[in-house]
Chain A
Amino acid sequence: MSSASAPVPRPAATPAVLRRGLRVIWSGIRSQPRPTAVAVLGSTLWAAATVGTAWAIGWVTDRVIEPAYLNRSVTAGGLWLIFGVLFGVLVINVTGVILRRVWATVAGFNLQAQYRRDVTRQYLRLPLSWHHAHPSGQLLSNAHADIEATWQVFNPLPMAIGVVVMLVIAGTMMVMGDPFLAFVGLLVFPGLFLANIVFQRFMSPRITQAQQLRAEVAEVAHESFEAGLIVKAMGREEEETERFRKKTHELRDSLILVGRTRGVFEPVIEAIPTLGTLAVLGVGTWRVSRGELAAADVVQMAYLFSLLAFPVRALGWVLAEIPRSVVGYDRVQGVLRAEGSMPYGDVRLPEVSGPASSELRDVVYSHEGEEQPTIRGVSIDVEAGSTTALVGPTGSGKTTLTNLALRLVDADSGSVHIDGVDARELARGELPAVATLVAQQTFMFDDTVRGNVTLGADADDESVWEALRIAQADSFVHALPKGLDSVIGERGGTLSGGQRQRIALARAIWRKPRLLVLDDATSAVDPSVEQAILAGLREAREGMTVLVVAYRMATIMLADQVVYIEHGRVVDRGTHGELLQRCKGYANLVQAYAREAAERAAVARGEVRDS
C-alpha cells in the first residue's frame, strides 16, 4: 500500500549504514528487552542442540552401536539409551526453536505496534497545514510499510545471534581439535561475509528501485480506480491500461534484474561452505597421510563444518535487512520528529449556554508553497446570536475563512477571537466544545449512524433522532436495515452524497454548538429538502451563532449580515438589501438565475411576437 512515497535512495550495506542499522536494532532491543532475551536464550539452546546432535550421535556410536556391532548383540537398555539421548537433544532443539521464533515475532510485532501508535499520535497531533503538505498515500505507507521494514530485521536477528553462539562453540571445538585445520576451515567465514557484503552492494540499489516501482504501480492503480467512474464515462479504459502497463512492465524488468542478481550470488554463497568442506578434507587428508593428524579428527571437523554451512546464512539475512531497516527507520523518524504542532494556551471559556461571538481581525493567510496569499486582510465580526452569510464566487477563499474561524489553521498575521478571547490562547479542546463546522467535503467514520452523529459520546437515542430530524435525515435512516446501528462504510460509501451531508449536519446539530459554521453544507440535497433543513435550523438556531457559506437566496435570506468576498478580500458587507443596492459583484452573483430567466422570458416574448 505504499503509494506516493518520495523516491528515497536506499543505501548499500556500507559500514556507516551497518553502524546505524546496529543502532536501530539496539534501540529495538532496549524497548523490548524481555521478548528479545527469551528469543536469544531460545536461539542459544538451538545452537547448542544443533552442535550437540553431532556430539550425541558420536557418543551413542562409541557407547552402544559399535559394541553392538562388534558383540553382535544389543540390550533393550542400550537401544533406549540411543533413543533417550537423541530425544533429549531434540527436545532442547525444539524448545529452542519455539522460544526463538515465537518471541522474535512477539518482539517484532510489539515494536511495530508501538511505533504505529506513536506515528498515528503524531498524525492526530500535527496541524492541518502539515497534513496538506504530505500526500495521504505517503503517510499511510509511513505507518504501515516503513514501520514493517524497520522491524522486519527482528525475524532473523535471534537466529543470527544463535549462529554466532554456534560459531563460537564449533570454532572452539575445531581449534581444540587441530588449530591448523580450523584456520583453513574458518577462512570460509570471512569469505562468506565478504560475498554477502558484495551481494548487498549490488542488490540494495536494485531492490530499492523495485520497491519504488511497486509504490508507483500502487499509485497508478489507486488513482485509476478512484477515477473509475470518469474513466468509464469517457471511455478511457485503454489509455488507463496503457498507463498501468508502462509502470507494470518497468516493475517487471526491475524484478527480473533483481532475480538475475540473486541468480548469480545465491549459487556462489551456497558453494562457498561446500568448497570449504572440500578444502578441510583435502588438507586434512594430506596431514593424515603425513601422520600429523588422526583420521577421525578430520571426519569430525568436516561434519561440524557441513553442520554450520546452512545456519551461517542467517547472518546474511540480517545483513540483507539492515539497509531496508535503516531507510524505514529514517522515514518513520521523519514523521516522529515533525515539528509545527498547533500550540494551545490555557484559557478556558466560561460554561455558558448562550451563543458565542466570533471575530476575524485583519487575517492574512497563504497556503504552503504559494507566494500569493489566499486571504488578504479580512476582518469579519459575527455578533453573538446573529447569522452571517459568506458569499463569493467559486475559489474566492470562503472555505479557508471557515477553517480560520475555527482555528483549523492559524493565520499568518491577524487574529481570530471567540467571545473576545484570542483563539490561540484557548486550551486544547475548548474550541471544538463551543464551535462546530459542517464542511463542504463530508467525512464519515467507518462506524454506525449513531457513532457518526455522537462521535462516541454518550447519548440517548431520542436526541440523536431529533438531530437527524432537523437535518432531514431521519426518514432514510429509519429505512436502513438496522436504523441507528447501521454501519456506514469507508468514507460513507454506502450513502449518497446528499445523505452524507445530512448526517454530517446532524452531527453538528446534535452537539448544540454555540457557534455553527456551515460551508455550503447542503450542496448535494435538493431544494425542497434544503428548505426543510433551513426551516429546522431556524427553530434550532436559538442560542446559536451561525456563519454560513452560501450561494442560494433562501440561505442568504436567513442572514442578519452578508459579507461579500472576492479574491480573498471583503468587498462589501451589510444586509442583503443593502448589498443588492450597492455591490455590483454581489448582485450579479445572487441574481444570476433571475436575470437569466428574465432574459429568456424576453427572448421568448420576442419569438412569440415574431411568429
Chain B
Amino acid sequence: MSDVVDEDQDREELPESSRIEQQSALGTLATLRRGLELSPEIKQGLALTMALAVVATVGRVVIPFVVQQATDNGIMAEQGVDVRFVMVAIAIAAGVVLITSLAQYFVNVRLFTAAERGLATLRLRAFRHIHDLSMLTQSTERRGALVSRVTNDVDTVSMFVQFGGLMLLISMTQIMLSTALMVIYSPILALVVYVCFVPLALLIRRFQPMLGRAYGAVRARVGDMLGAISESIVGATTIRAYGVEDRTAERIDVAIEAHRDSGVKAQIRSVMAYVSGQAFAGITTAIVLVVGTVLAARGSLTLGQLLAFLFLVNLFTMPVLMATEILNEMQNAVAGWRRVIGVIDTPADVSDPEDGIIQRRGPITVEFDGVSYAYPGGDLVLRDVDLRIEPHTKVAVVGETGSGKTTLAKLLTRLMDPTQGRVLLDGDDLRRIAFSSLRERVVLVPQEGFLFDDTLINNIRFGKPSADDDEIALAVTELGLDAWIEGMPHGLQTQVGQRGESLSAGERQLVAIVRAYLADPDLLVLDEATSAVDPSTEVRVQRALDGLTRGRTSIAIAHRLSTAEAADIVVVVDKGEIVELGHHRDLVWAGGVYTRMHASWAAQQAG
C-alpha cells in the first residue's frame, strides 16, 4: 500500500468519513431489514415457504398431541384399553409425520436456495463496492479484514440461515400454537406460564448485547491472532536474518492466549444465557405443578387435564429454549451482516459518473486548473496547481520526497479527486468522464505493479484481455525484453508465484511495463515504474516506451533524473507547488531546485 499514501502523510489523522465503517450502526431489526433489501432473493417466495413452515410446525405440535390423546383416552381409558382408538390415532400420527416431513423438506430446500442466492448477491455487491471505493478508503482497512467481509462475514450469515433460520421459524410458530392450546386447556395455567417467562424475555434482552459484544471481541481477537501468526510467515526472512524467533513466538503466544480467553469468555456468557432459559423452563414446570395441584384440589382441574397441560408446557418451553439459543447465535450472524452492510454503505467518494462522457481516442491534452489537494484532515499537499500539457509531450515530474508529485499522478488518473480545482482531459472535467473511457485513455504504472499468481503471459494480458499470445510476444520484443524472457525457465509460460514473488522486484516492474505497453493508452503515467530495474535495461525500456509515447503524451515521475534529461518538459514540484517548468537544458543552469537536485544526481553518476 506504500504507493497509496504520499510520503510524510499521516493516516492516523483521517476523519471518520473516508474510512470504511467497522460495522454499520444499525440495530438488529434495521440490520435485518437492510440485509433483506440488499439480498432481495431471500424474500422471493417467502410467503409460500412460511405457509409450508406453518404446516411443518402444526405437525410438530399435533403429533405429540395425538400421542398424548392416544395415551390418555386409548390406553389409559377408564373403561379399559381402546385398541381401535389407539390404532386410529397412530395411523393419523403417522400420516401427519409424513406430511410434516415433506413440508419440512420443501421449507429447507426453498429457504436454502433463496438464502444462498441472496447471499451470493450480497457477496458480489460487497466485492464490487470494495473495488469502487477510492484507494484512500480501501487503505483504511487491513486487506485481510476486507477479504473477511466478503468471505467469513457472509459465511456467518449463511451458516446461520442454514442451521438456525428454519428452526427459528418453526420455533416461533410452535410457541404461538402451543400458547393457543394452553389457553384452550387452562387459561389460568397459561397465564402462570407467561408470567413465569416474562423475566426470561427481559433477561434475554440484557444478554443479547452482552453476547454481541463478546462475539465481537472474539472476532477481533481472531484478527489479531491471524496478524501475529502471519508475521511468522510473511516476515520469515527478516525474523531469521535478525534471529528474533523467540520474540516473535512470544508475541504470537500472547495473541493465541487472548483469542482463547475471549472464546471461553463468550462461551461462558452464551452458556449462562442458555442455562437461565433452562432454569426458567424448569421453574415454570414446578410452579405449574404446584398451582395445578391447588386447582386440582379445588376440583377445577382433573388429574388428566393437569398432566396434559404439563405436556403442553413442555411443547412450549422446548421451542422457547431453542429460540433463545438461536437468537444468541443470531447475534453472531447479525454482527457479520453488519460488517458486510458497513462496507456496502460506505460511500464511494471517487465514483463513476452517471451518463459519463465517452471520449474519442487520440492525442490528448491535460490541464490542471487551480488544483489543490489535502488528505482528509491533513494539510495541503498540492497548492493551487495550474499546468497545461499539450498532446505529444513527454513530461517528467521531479521533486523531493514528500513534495506532492505522487499526488499529482493520482489526481491525473483519478485515484483521488482534487479538494479544489479541476483536472481536465481534452477540456472535460475528469469527474465527468466515464471510467471505462478514462481507463482506456489513461493508464498508470505504479512503483509496485501487482502480479497475480499465474503465468507471465497471463499477467501481461491483464493490460489488454483481448490480446493473443503473438501480440504479447511482439510487445515483449518491441520493448527489448525478449532476452530476459528467454532466460526464464519456461519463457512466457513461467509461473510468477504468489504476488509474483518468484521474480525479483525489478522483474516485476518489467512485467508491469509490458502490461501498460500492451494496453496502449493515449496518456501513460509512470510513477517510479523502473526504480528497481538495472540502468541498462531501464534505458532500453525507456527508449522503447519513447517509441510508444511518441505521438502520445507521457508523464513520468522519477527519482532518476535520466528521465528528466530525456523529457520535453520537466515539472519541478516542491512543497506542493510547481516551482519550475521547462526543458532540462534550461533548468539545469537556472540555479533553482532543479539545479540542486541535478547536482546531487550527477554526483552519484560521476564515475
Contacts and interface: CB of A to CB of B under 8 A. Distances in A.
A288 B71 CA distance: 12
A65 B296 contact: yes
Interface in A323-375: 367, 370-372
Contacts of A381: none
Contact of B297 (A72, A135, A392, A596): A72
Given A57-B289, A102-B268, A263-B108, A394 B484 contact: yes
B400 to A, nearest CB: 6
Contacts of B487: 395, 567
A410 interface: no
A443 B235 contact: yes
B597 A590 contact: no
Contacts of A61: 303, 307
B439 A87 contact: no
B279 A94 contact: yes
B117 A252 contact: yes
Interface stretch (B89-97, B185-193, B353-361): B89-97
Contact of A69 (B257, B302, B440, B498): B302
A495 B452 CA distance: 24
Contacts of B547: none
Nearest to B490: A370
B9 to A, nearest CB: 8
Interface residues of B, number: 189
A493 B531 CA distance: 20
A295 interface: yes
A559 interface: no
A362 B76 CA distance: 97
Contacts of A486: 12
B489 A97 contact: no
B554 to A, nearest CB: 15
Contact of A74 (B293, B536, B538): B293
B507 A263 contact: no
Interface string A266-299: 1110110011011001101110110000011011
A1 B144 contact: yes
B205 interface: no
A82 B504 contact: no
A493 B234 CA distance: 14
Interface in B428-479: 435-436, 438-440, 443-450, 452-453, 462-463, 465
B79 interface: no
Given A259-B108, A284-B75, A494-B11, A554 B604 contact: yes
B36 interface: no
Contact of B143 (A225, A241, A492): A225
Contact of B105 (A125, A267, A367, A481): A267
Nearest to A84: B286
Contacts of A370: 489
B278 interface: yes
Contacts of A1: 144, 147-148, 151-152, 226
A399 B532 CA distance: 12
A244 B294 contact: no
Contacts, number: 509
Contacts of A450: none
B237 A592 contact: no
Given A394-B484, A395-B504, A432-B241, A259 B112 contact: yes
A422 interface: no
Given A394-B537, A593-B535, A288 B310 contact: no
B155 A520 contact: no
B288 to A, nearest CB: 10
Contact of B600 (A403, A531, A593): A531
A576 interface: yes
Interface stretch (A9-17, A22-30, A108-116, A178-186): A108-116
B209 interface: no
**Most A Cβ at <10 Å: residue of B100, B130, B144, B233:** B233
A582 interface: no
Nearest to A476: B8
B507 A135 contact: no
Interface stretch (A165-173, A192-200, A433-441, A463-471): A433-441
Given A72-B298, A230-B446, A264-B105, A494 B507 contact: no
A82 B604 contact: no
B411 to A, nearest CB: 13
Interface stretch (B176-184, B195-203, B244-252, B365-373): B244-252
Contacts of B130: 225, 228
Contact of B233 (A78, A136, A594): A136
B249 A120 contact: yes
Interface stretch (B80-88, B326-334, B386-394): B80-88
B147 A263 contact: no
A523 B282 contact: no
Nearest to A64: B293
Contacts of A239: 465
Given A97-B274, A262-B162, A372 B257 contact: no
Interface in A399-437: 399, 403, 406, 408, 429, 431-433, 436-437
Interface stretch (B43-51, B417-425, B560-568, B574-582): B560-568
Contact of B436 (A71, A235, A248, A267): A235
B86 A281 contact: yes
Contacts of B6: 496
A526 B278 contact: no
**Most B Cβ at <10 Å: residue of A228, A232, A281, A306:** A232
A86 B243 contact: no
A595 B74 CA distance: 109
Nearest to B83: A289
B504 A436 contact: no
Contacts of B235: 443, 445
Interface string B396-421: 00001100000000000101000000
A246 to B, nearest CB: 11
B536 A528 contact: no
A123 B234 CA distance: 10
Given A233-B446, A394-B533, A496-B5, A263 B605 contact: no
Contacts of A441: 237, 505
A86 B289 contact: yes
B83 A285 contact: yes
Interface in B35-76: 63-64, 67, 70-71, 74-76
A121 interface: yes
Given A274-B63, A552-B604, A446 B462 contact: no
Interface in A195-240: 214, 217-218, 221-237, 239-240
B234 A136 contact: yes
Nearest to B146: A225
A436 B7 CA distance: 27
B10 interface: yes
A306 B65 CA distance: 12
A474 interface: no
A189 interface: no
A281 B2 contact: no
B120 to A, nearest CB: 4
Contacts of B160: none
B317 to A, nearest CB: 12
A491 B249 contact: no
Contacts of A306: 64, 67
Given A241-B128, A497-B3, A589 B505 contact: no
Interface in A483-535: 486, 489-500, 507, 511, 520, 523-531
7 contacts: A86-B282, A110-B260, A143-B229, A217-B123, A244-B124, A268-B101, A493-B142
Given A94-B278, A218-B147, A437-B237, 10 more contacts: A72-B299, A116-B229, A137-B498, A255-B158, A263-B104, A275-B94, A433-B243, A496-B8, A497-B2, A580-B607
